[in-house]
């Protein structure tokens, strides 16, 4: 790309085809002023086609330079080898290079002259040995095959100088399974068809589910490295024409399609993702390539009389003979290099020769499935009906217009092209839906491969168009322009960006990724875009519009992260195993997964969501922070993946602040270490989640941040002492005064721990085996605080209908229940003769070490022992008197070490829903499972911290009728952040309460209601992807199912009057219960139709 600048200079674009880790970027540094004079580097920008830098220089200037990797902390990693040399042209080209490969230079046409990048002096070879070739990108915007080539450069020869493999690396120590088979197979397989056969044998074996995924991932990686030249192919005496390769490819394709199209549950999403990466690495098996002697045109070209003898020899020995003996991807690279050479100077060679070489090049691209998208789609025309052709012609017309404007194109053009593309891809996938018949002809299978590669190519092209759309958005003002329009009460500028998100989501669904989730997000975005700003466009109306849209965009962003996490789970370790065994360059191994992520539609979709979320933050006047526990914390900043033991390095002494990538919401806030003074979580979290509650209990400052730019800023402070200040006004992170405040934070934390220890003296009265209590008879000593509170709730429910708050009824209901009291577990252990073993294991939990898994082992034995116990028949008979045999029930923990003022124990112990008495084994297992939850590792460690002896802990079980709620909620009757006693804060989720308690990623609806004046403020909209539901049919086995939520159908998201009315009712009930119990309450309940049920109330932490 050349742009003429002022003063006679030109703008020259350098492009580097290389991947780096997240947080790193590329730069160029060189001898000339325009490259930093070896002192300052010129940063490069990531694009869909690589890293680019635009530099201004004068024609004729010369510079030596290198590419570097810039780490997050500013450190530079220089590419190996001698300096590159650049001669600046007078007019036009984009220079494409590869990391640590100065010989291979790709120049795309842009003007009359070419920029020239010399090979380093000591790398220059005699013509007979090596010719450095320049390859031009195809005119319709598709990349040439050579641009992805990372193998050896083409060496044109005038005699048969092809060599067999000399040495190699096949390190098999520590390998097994699929990777071992590939490495051992590669050692025996020099040429391409043999390597394909290794993959065929692996994939067509009868593999188990885990082994099959392993085989697919390793095959995908192996084939990718072959097709890019990082695994070389050699002649090894096993001479076969390309027909052999085509036949092997057809067998692999059939197996892949059989797996991909399987309608049963045996094929996983992970497998489908990987299979899509394998298809482009296989050769074609069309009829012309399975003929006895395929690709014969090159033989005729090599014997033409209108080209020089030396050129004939080069064609014959470099391409013709090699192709017909041992075809491999390097043959296409050689042909592209030859074509570039003979077309470099127009008229140098006969037009007829050049034309035949171009035709052969097209045939070879077809064989290697390296054709451009336009060429692939044109090849489908004979197989399409009239309607399908119409859809394709619509897309092709729009693609042609985009190609004509190069990197430009306005938003209308780009959105139109994405719409047409998505429609065409849907048509192709519909045609592929039926799967591959066992009796399908070879021609039908070959055509199916064309369809499959075309729809994959469309997905790849969508990545390009979406990237250009992002560039167009940036040029028109980006996030600030979008937010500015909202101030004029218009959302018209948001139509196209939201349309881009919808189309990106649709692409993921077409690829088989979380299709129900994709459909729900699509419905939400289309509804929010259609509704626009409701009401009269007041500040509150704008706030509601922004919060609702933010919830769905956060959900979209989260789904993109899930896709990235999947690739990071599938590839890095396996790429390392295979790459190290085969001697692949370390950088290619290290960045393999990152390269897959950056090349996916998800990458661009995530970027688009980031821009829109940034615009919404401008609209809402927020900075991406959310405060769960206010205060001041000081300490060194460390980044961890999760809050789990062992996540902190041994060097993390003294107070620390955690920068946490992910939390589920049910972790212990100090699980990473007792010296945790503060937490910064990189995504939103429910305020009333168990993790949020524990942070407030233990006085650990806790904030969340969903602003990517701020996260990057904080990463620059890793390892430094910082001060984290948070309040209802905002959040501030600084490096000032960290040491001064560290001790005060630690003292406050220590005080909180001692406060909790006082609960260890609570008394327990154990009942004899077989006793069952009515809910109203349950008290603290016999059944624990939860059962006792539910008994009192049942009594209060009868009085609530007569009470009002601000004219709103306080009425609520309580589901009927019975209690299996303290002592029942011990009675079961006594009856089974297991009491001595139980006491011995329990005593060991007091002193067992966390390190090396000692405590884990003892806890596992304890839980296994307790889980095997069963209620006596007398107890089951008494429970049966309280419920019908087919009633769906929930068994809930009611320990003496939970739901207390000094120890809430929130989330530590299990509740198991969806059991019934007519299936007694499932019911009894659920009861035993609740007993056993007393001895999880987390529960034992929690009691240690609170200085509660393990033998002092007892478990009763509360049995209640299971409700089928529309909504579940948690209320705090005093604002947990600023302790405002006039405010009731509620968090609400669709379906069963497990959504709020289980640590599901996402946010709930958040309501803030004033007890005094009855005002209600909706603070956040829900975006949990799923709700938990308990079916009324089928086995009641203690399990619940999940159902994807579409919030465009949820009343609480679309009817603001309903949200106000619900908030007022919850505030009235919360106020009534607070007065009744005499202190602020942490309340759990649900909405079933028009009724509100309360299932739990305990002192608010």
Q: Does some domain include residue 414?
A: yes
Q: Which residue has the tokens 């084939």?
A: 223
Q: Which residue has the tokens 């190519």?
A: 457
Check: CB of residue 272 under 8 Å from CB of residue 260.
yes
pLDDT of residue 104: 55
Check: CB of residue 697 under 8 Å from CB of residue 670.
no
**Same domain? 397 vs 542:** no
Question: Which of 143, 229, 227 lies closest to 463, judged by CA?
Answer: 143
CA-to-CA distance for 499 and 495, rounded, in angstroms?
Answer: 6
**Same domain? 1037 vs 1065:** yes
Residue 1007's SS3 state is strand
Q: Which of 687, 690, 922, 972 is catalytic?
A: 690
Count of beta carbons in the 10 Å neighbourhood of residue 309: 9
**Same domain? 980 vs 899:** no
**Same domain? 491 vs 430:** no
Domain count across the chain: 7
Question: How many residues are present in the chain?
Answer: 1101
Domain boundary among 601, 622, 643: 622
Which class for 433: exposed (0-12), middle (13-18), buried (19 or more C-beta within 10 A)? exposed
Does pTM top 0.75 for this prediction? yes
Question: Which of 328, 313, 159 lies closest to 235, judged by CA?
Answer: 328
pLDDT of residue 657: 94
Torsion, CA 844, CA 845, CA 850, CA 853, rounded to 10: 70
CA-to-CA distance for 533 and 486, rounded, in angstroms?
Answer: 9
Residue 327 vs residues 243, 246, 319, 364: alpha-carbon distances, Å: 10, 11, 9, 10
Check: CB of residue 799 under 8 Å from CB of residue 810.
no
Residue 1037's SS3 state is strand
Check: CB of residue 23 under 8 Å from CB of residue 65.
no
Domain boundary among 718, 735, 760: 760
- Long-range contacts of range 983-988, CB-CB < 8 Å, 24 or more positions apart? 983/1008, 983/1009, 983/1010, 983/1011, 984/1008, 984/1009, 984/1010, 984/1011, 984/1066, 984/1067, 984/1070, 984/1071, 985/687, 985/688, 985/1009, 986/1063, 986/1066, 986/1070, 987/686, 987/687, 987/688, 988/1022, 988/1052, 988/1062
Two structure tokens written together for 495: 């139509």
**Same domain? 615 vs 629:** no
Q: Does some domain include residue 140?
A: no
Q: Does some domain include residue 503?
A: yes
pLDDT of residue 140: 46
* Residue stretches of the chain with pLDDT short of 70: 1-8, 22-23, 48-49, 72-73, 90-93, 103-147, 161-167, 265, 736-762, 899-907, 998-999
Check: CB of residue 84 under 8 Å from CB of residue 120.
yes
Residue-wise DSSP of 414-476: HHHHHHHHHHHHHHHHHHHTT---TT--HHHHHHHHHHHHHHHHHHHHHHHHHHHHHHHHHHT
Check: CB of residue 450 under 8 Å from CB of residue 380.
yes
pLDDT of residue 1013: 92
pLDDT of residue 70: 85
CA-to-CA distance for 9 and 1, rounded, in angstroms?
Answer: 14
CA-to-CA distance for 605 and 518, rounded, in angstroms?
Answer: 13
List the beta strands (DSSP E) in 788-920.
Answer: 804-805, 808-809, 817-820, 889-895, 911-915
Phi, psi of 792 (to 5 degrees): -70, -35
**Same domain? 503 vs 453:** no
Two structure tokens written together for 383: 């197989």
Residue 690 annotated to the active site: yes
**Same domain? 532 vs 553:** yes
Ramachandran class of 401: left when φ > 0, alpha when ψ lies in -120 to 50, beta otherwise: alpha
Q: Does some domain include residue 588?
A: yes
List the beta strands (DSSP E) in 622-688.
Answer: 625-629, 631-640, 656-660, 676-681
CA-to-CA distance for 39 and 134, rounded, in angstroms?
Answer: 31
Strands 116-118 and 1016-1020: unpaired
Q: Does some domain include residue 769?
A: no
**Same domain? 248 vs 293:** yes
Q: Does some domain include residue 116?
A: yes
CA-to-CA distance for 713 and 733, rounded, in angstroms?
Answer: 10
Q: Domain containing 732 — which CATH number?
A: 3.50.30.10
Domain boundary among 343, 367, 391: 367
Domain ranges, residue 39 = 2-132
Q: Does some domain include residue 615?
A: yes
**Same domain? 743 vs 836:** no
pLDDT of residue 905: 61
pLDDT of residue 31: 85
pLDDT of residue 137: 34
Q: Quick one: how far is CA 313 from the chain centroid? A: 52
pLDDT for 381-404, tens place per residue? 999 999 999 999 999 999 999 998
**Same domain? 340 vs 452:** no
**Same domain? 687 vs 740:** yes
Beta bridge partners of 1041: 1029
**Same domain? 599 vs 666:** no
CA-to-CA distance for 938 and 845, rounded, in angstroms?
Answer: 12
Beta bridge partners of 326: 240
Q: Which residue has the tokens 């922004």?
A: 546
Q: Domain containing 124 — which CATH number?
A: 2.60.40.10
Question: Which of 113, 68, 70, 76 lies closest to 95, judged by CA?
Answer: 113
Q: Does some domain include residue 809?
A: no
């Amino acid at each position: 790309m050349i742009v003429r600048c002022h003063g006679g200079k030109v703008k020259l674009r350098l492009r580097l085809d290389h991947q780096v880790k997240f947080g790193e970027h590329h730069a160029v540094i060189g001898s000339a002023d325009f490259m930093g004079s070896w002192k300052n580097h010129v940063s490069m920008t990531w694009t869909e086609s690589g890293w680019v830098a635009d530099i201004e220089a004068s024609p004729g200037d010369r510079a030596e330079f290198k590419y570097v990797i810039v780490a997050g902390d500013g450190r530079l990693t220089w590419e190996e080898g001698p300096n590159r040399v650049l001669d600046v042209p007078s007019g036009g080209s984009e220079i494409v290079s590869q990391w640590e490969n100065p010989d291979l230079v790709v120049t795309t046409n842009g003007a009359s002259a070419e920029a020239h990048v010399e090979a380093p002096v000591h790398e220059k070879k005699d013509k007979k040995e090596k010719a450095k070739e320049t390859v031009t990108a195809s005119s319709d915007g598709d990349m040439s095959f050579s641009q992805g080539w990372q193998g050896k450069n083409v060496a044109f020869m005038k005699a048969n100088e092809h060599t067999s493999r000399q040495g190699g690396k096949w390190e098999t120590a520590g390998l097994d399974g699929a990777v071992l088979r590939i490495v051992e197979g590669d050692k025996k397989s020099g040429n391409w068809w043999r390597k394909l056969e290794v993959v065929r044998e692996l994939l067509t074996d009868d593999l188990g589910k885990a082994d099959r995924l392993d085989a697919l991932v390793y095959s995908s990686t192996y084939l990718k490295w072959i097709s890019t030249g990082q695994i070389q192919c050699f002649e090894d005496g096993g001479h076969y024409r390309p027909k052999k390769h085509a036949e092997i490819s057809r067998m692999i394709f059939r197996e892949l399609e059989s797996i991909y199209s399987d309608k049963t549950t045996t094929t996983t999403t992970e497998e489908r993702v990987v299979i899509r990466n394998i298809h482009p690495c296989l050769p074609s098996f069309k009829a012309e390539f399975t003929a006895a002697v395929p690709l014969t045109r090159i033989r005729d070209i090599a014997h033409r009389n209108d080209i020089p003898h030396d050129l004939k020899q080069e064609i014959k020995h470099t391409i013709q003979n090699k192709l017909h003996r041992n075809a491999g991807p390097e043959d296409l690279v050689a042909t592209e290099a030859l074509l570039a050479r003979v077309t470099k100077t127009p008229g140098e060679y006969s037009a007829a020769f050049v034309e035949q070489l171009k035709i052969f090049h097209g045939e070879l691209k077809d064989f290697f499935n390296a054709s451009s998208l336009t060429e692939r789609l044109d090849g489908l025309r004979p197989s399409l009906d009239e309607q399908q052709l119409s859809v394709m012609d619509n897309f092709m017309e729009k693609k042609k217009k985009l190609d004509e404007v190069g990197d430009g194109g306005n938003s209308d053009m780009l959105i139109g092209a994405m719409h047409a593309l998505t429609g065409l891809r849907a048509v192709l996938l519909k045609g592929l839906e039926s799967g591959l018949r066992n009796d399908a002809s070879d021609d039908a299978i070959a055509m199916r491969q064309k369809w499959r590669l075309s729809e994959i190519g469309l997905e790849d092209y969508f990545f390009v168009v979406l990237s250009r759309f992002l560039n167009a958005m940036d040029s028109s003002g980006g996030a600030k322009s979008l937010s500015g329009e909202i101030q004029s009460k218009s959302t018209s500028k948001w139509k196209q960006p939201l349309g881009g998100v919808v189309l990106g989501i649709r692409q993921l669904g077409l690829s088989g990724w979380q299709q129900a989730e994709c459909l729900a997000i699509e419905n939400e975005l289309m509804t929010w875009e259609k509704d626009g700003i409701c009401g009269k466009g007041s500040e509150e109306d704008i706030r509601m519009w922004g919060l609702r849209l933010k919830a769905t965009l956060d959900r979209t962003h989260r789904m993109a992260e899930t896709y990235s996490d999947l690739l990071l789970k599938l590839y890095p370790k396996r790429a390392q195993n295979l790459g190290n065994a085969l001697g692949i360059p370390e950088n290619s191994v290290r960045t393999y997964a990152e390269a897959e992520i950056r090349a996916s539609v998800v990458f661009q979709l995530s970027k688009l969501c980031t821009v829109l979320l940034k615009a919404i933050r401008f609209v809402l006047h927020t900075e991406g922070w959310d405060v769960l526990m206010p205060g001041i914390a000081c300490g060194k900043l460390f980044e961890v993946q999760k809050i789990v033991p062992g996540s902190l390095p041994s060097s993390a002494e003294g107070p620390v602040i955690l920068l946490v990538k992910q939390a589920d919401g049910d972790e212990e806030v100090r699980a990473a270490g007792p010296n945790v003074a503060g937490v910064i979580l990189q995504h939103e979290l429910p305020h009333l989640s168990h993790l949020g509650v524990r942070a407030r209990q233990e006085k650990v400052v806790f904030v969340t941040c969903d602003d990517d730019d701020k996260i990057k800023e904080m990463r620059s402070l890793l390892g430094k002492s910082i001060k984290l200040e948070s309040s209802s006004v905002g959040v501030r992170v600084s490096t000032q005064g960290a040491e001064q405040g560290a001790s005060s934070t630690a003292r406050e934390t220590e005080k909180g721990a001692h406060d909790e220890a006082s609960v260890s003296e609570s008394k327990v009265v154990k009942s004899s085996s077989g006793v069952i209590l009515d809910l109203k008879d349950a008290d603290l000593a016999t059944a624990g605080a939860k059962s006792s509170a539910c008994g009192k709730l049942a009594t209060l429910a009868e009085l609530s209908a007569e009470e009002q708050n601000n004219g709103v009824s306080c009425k609520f209901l309580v589901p009927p229940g019975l209690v299996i009291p303290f002592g029942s577990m011990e009675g079961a252990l006594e009856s089974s003769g297991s009491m001595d073993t139980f006491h011995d294991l329990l005593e060991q939990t007091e002193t067992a070490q966390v390190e090396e898994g000692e405590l884990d082992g003892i806890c596992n034995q304890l839980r296994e022992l307790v889980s095997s116990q069963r209620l006596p028949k007398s107890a089951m008979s008494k429970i049966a008197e309280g419920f019908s045999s087919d009633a769906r029930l929930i068994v809930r923990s009611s320990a003496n070490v939970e739901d207390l003022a000094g120890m809430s124990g929130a989330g530590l112990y299990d509740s198991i829903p969806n059991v019934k008495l007519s299936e007694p084994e499932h019911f009894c297992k659920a009861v035993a499972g609740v007993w056993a939850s007393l001895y999880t590792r987390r529960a034992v460690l929690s009691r240690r911290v609170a200085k509660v002896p393990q033998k002092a802990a007892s478990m009763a079980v509360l049995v209640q009728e299971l409700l089928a709620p529309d909504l579940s909620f948690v209320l705090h009757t005093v604002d947990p952040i600023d302790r405002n006693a006039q405010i009731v804060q509620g968090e609400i989720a669709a379906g069963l309460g497990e959504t709020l308690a289980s640590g599901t990623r996402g946010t709930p609806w958040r309501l803030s209601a004033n007890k005094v004046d009855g005002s209600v403020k909706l603070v956040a909209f829900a975006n949990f992807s799923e709700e938990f539901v308990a079916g009324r049919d089928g086995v009641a086995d203690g399990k619940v199912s999940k159902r994807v939520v579409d919030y465009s159908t949820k009343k609480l998201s679309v009817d603001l009057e309903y949200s106000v009315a619900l908030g007022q009712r919850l505030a009235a009930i919360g106020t009534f219960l607070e007065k009744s119990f005499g202190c602020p309450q942490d309340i759990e309940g649900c909405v079933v139709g028009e009724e509100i049920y309360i299932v739990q109330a305990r002192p608010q932490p």
